[in-house]
Amino acid sequence: MHFLGRSLRWEQHVPVQLVPQIEAAQRRRRRREHSCPALQLRTGLRSEPHERSISPWRYRIDEDEDRYPRKLAFAECLCTGCVDVKTGRETTALNSVPIHQTMMVLRRKPCPRPASPGLVTFEVDYIHVPVGCTCVLPRTGR
């Protein structure tokens, strides 16, 4: 796609690249993990970073018909706290929070003129896409 004389390469964005993989995985496996998993040290080296993290996450597909790209992979943290590397269990001494990447998308809008029903225009928009999770110290009340 060309935009303002520049070629946009949507496929270079991880949230776009992951969509086919996530859709294929969803077809293969119906039951998905939604809770904070216990850390499995012996299988850790063979698994993906989102599974080895002490702030693990899963991906879901966010679909918006008025956005291009229409489908994006959004990360969702599986834990409120973080996984303690010594015990392999969740601890609330730290908090899991999403990491966001700002991504340019195009928004479909109806043309403003009443004489052009059904015609649309695309406007540039910037959205915050959750791409992973990390552990942080809890906020303290002041």
pLDDT of residue 111: 82
User: Mind listing the pLDDT tens digit for each residue in 106-130?
Assistant: 999 888 776 677 788 899 999 999 9
Rounded CA separation 42/113 (Å): 62
Residue 10 pLDDT greater than 70, yes or no: no
| Total of domains in the chain | 1
pLDDT of residue 141: 67
The domain of 111 spans: 10-136
Q: Is residue 4 part of a domain?
A: no
Q: Is residue 1 part of a domain?
A: no
User: Mind listing the pLDDT tens digit for each residue in 65-98?
Assistant: 999 999 999 999 999 999 999 999 999 999 999 9
| CATH code for the domain in which residue 17 is found | 2.10.90.10
The percent of residues above 90 in pLDDT, for the chain, comes to 49
pLDDT of residue 45: 64
